[in-house]
């Protein structure tokens, strides 16, 4: 990455150890995470969640030997730090899409957080099916760093709810068939 990004640097220092390799042709990561300018279905019945202010997207990937962390910002694959390791019993090839943020706790302390909100798979499935699979995989997430982020019907993601979160929110994204393509971010 040619431009300095202190927020990305902070995330990488928490989530990763050594550089693994540059991603070239992997099917799973061939597409960058993109935001559609024209959302196909962004109504109240769509599946949505929030995007954190300054969020950087990462995917935790379980391999035979360890956990890898893919940075969607700089498209580099790293070895996960001990804090970011998926449980050793996690199914091989599990790929959990997350966003990195920093939570402000009630006592004023700031803690890094990795919010898991989707899973990646080679074939597109509905956000509802991916959500059910993600919730089933929650037992393998590296707690306390990582937790499941709320994902549900857009009508239930109120401004009041978002204001109570321990981090700044830039808006709402609608999830669709392809987990790497989000619908337009809208304000809460």
The predicted pLDDT at position 35 comes to: 55
CA distance 66 to 77: 13
Helices (H) then strands (E): counts for the chain: 3, 12
Instruction: Note the pLDDT tens digit of each residue in 21-40.
Output: 544 434 344 344 555 544 44
- Which range (12-21, 96-105, 173-182) has the least confidence? 12-21
Q: What is the CATH number of the domain that holds 90?
A: 3.30.470.30
Helices assigned H by DSSP within 4-65? 6-15
Say if residues 90 and 101 touch (Cβ distance below 8 Å): no
Count how many domains the chain has.
1
Domain of residue 43: give its range: 6-24+33-182
H-type alpha helices, 16-142: 127-137
CA distance 19 to 68: 10
| Residue 81 resides in a domain | yes
Task: For the chain, give the mean pLDDT.
Answer: 84
pLDDT at 1 over 70: no
pLDDT, tens only, 39-66? 445 566 789 999 999 889 999 999 998 9
Summarised one tens digit per residue, pLDDT across range 118-140 is 998 777 788 999 999 999 999 99
Note whether residue 135 is domain-resident. yes
The candidate with the shortest Cα–Cα distance to 179, out of 27, 24, 26, 34, is: 34
Q: Where residue 187 falls among pLDDT bands split at 50, 70, 90?
A: confident
pTM, entire model: 0.85
């Amino acid at each position: 990455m040619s431009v300095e990004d202190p927020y990305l640097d902070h995330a990488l220092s928490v989530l990763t150890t050594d550089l693994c390799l540059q991603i070239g042709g992997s099917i799973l990561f061939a597409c960058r995470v993109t935001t559609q300018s024209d959302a196909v279905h962004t109504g109240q019945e769509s599946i949505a969640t929030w995007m954190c202010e300054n969020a950087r997207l990462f995917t935790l990937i379980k391999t035979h030997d360890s956990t890898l962390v893919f940075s969607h910002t700089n498209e580099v694959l790293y070895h996960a730090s001990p804090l970011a390791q998926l449980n050793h019993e996690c199914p091989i090839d599990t790929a959990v899409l997350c966003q990195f943020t920093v939570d402000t706790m009630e006592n004023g302390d700031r803690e890094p957080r990795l919010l898991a909100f989707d899973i990646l798979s080679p074939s597109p499935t509905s956000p509802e099916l991916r959500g059910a699979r993600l919730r089933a995989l929650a037992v393998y997430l590296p707690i306390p760093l990582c937790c499941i982020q709320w994902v549900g019907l857009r009508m239930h993601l109120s401004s009041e709810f978002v204001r109570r979160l321990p981090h700044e929110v830039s808006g709402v994204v609608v999830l669709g068939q392809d987990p790497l393509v989000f619908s337009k971010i809208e304000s809460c």
